[in-house]
Structure formats: structure tokens, C-alpha cells
Amino acid sequence: MLLEQFNEADRAEAIAVLRPCVDVTRWCEHLADRRPYDSIDALVAEGGSAASPFTAAEVEQALSHHPRIGERAGGDSTEASLSRSEQAGVDPADAEIARALAEGNAAYEAKFGRVFLIRAAGRSAGEILAALTERLGHDDDAEEEAIVAQQLREIALIRLKGLIT
């Protein structure tokens, strides 16, 4: 959608456009209510400040929308196609990587009780695996939670730039 159309859309439509970026109602409503924006940069800057920080409850809610790394989202929703293109660096045909990611995901979920989340766009499978291994070593849940919130923020802003031009 063009920025001009986003600026002029009715509130519910603007919120619906934003929702696939991150399912945090406060963030979507805030960005919709601050319209109009002069530029994409201004929109993204507002998106960044409204995401700083996401609360623990917001992270929890948003995480349920993210497929595991290495699991291709099915269907033709905006969210699923965004996820698939973000994970383009992870080749599902590479069995060794797929197995390492599946093991790492399971270990992460067992340790932290939530899905391993990383901004996958621009990262290779090897880089993601290295980050997963490193983060599995964290013992402080609050530290790990702050990383998750930051990754969610990066994903939301990348999606925002992709959806509104």
C-alpha cells in the first residue's frame, strides 16, 4: 500500500494493514492514530519508538504468530508470505541444518518456554544456528526476553517497510 493510501485509509483498515507486522494492538492503534505521516522514514521512526519496549505480555502474544525457524509458514496470508521470504536463507532441503535447527528449537523451548525468535531476513541458516547456540547458553531469562523483544521489533519494522511504500 502506498503511504498516501495508508494515511487516508479508515482507522480499521489502517490497523488491519499494520497487524501482520506484529500482532500488538497497542502498537497498531498507536501508528494508525498518529497518521498522517510525511514520509516512510517518519512512519518507521514512530514504529520503532512505539516498539521500545514491547512488554512481556505483548511479546508473548506476538510470538504465537511466528513459525519456528526452519518451518515454512503455510497458506497465503500476508503474515505467512512475509515469514517465508524472511526465512529464504534457510534451505529446507539441507537436512543437516534442518536437523540442527529442529534440535536447537526444541532445546530452546524446553529451556525458556517460548519459541526461539530471531530476525531471519538477511541472515543465513549458519548465522541463525550460531545465534541459536549462543542464546541457548543464556541463563538469565530477563536478558533473553530483552533480546526477543528487540528481534520482534526488527521484524515489525522490516515488515512495515515492505508493506507500506
Q: Does 67 bind ligand 2AL (CB under 6 A)?
A: yes
115: contact with ligand 2AL by CB under 6 A: yes
Binding track over 71-110 against ligand 2AL, x by CB under 6 A: ------------x--xx-----------------------
Long-range contacts of 74-81 (CB under 8 A, 24+ apart): 77/20, 78/20, 78/163, 79/20
Least distance to ligand 2AL from the beta carbon of 118, Å? Answer: 5
Indicate the DSSP class of residue 9.
S
Query: Rounded to the nearest 5 degrees, what angle is found at the Cα of 102, between the Cα atoms of 63 and 80?
Result: 45
Nearer to ligand 2AL, 67 or 162 (CB): 67
Site for ligand 2AL in 139-158 (CB under 6 A): 155
Query: Which residues form the interface with ligand 2AL (CB under 6 A)?
Result: 66-69, 83, 86-87, 115-121, 155
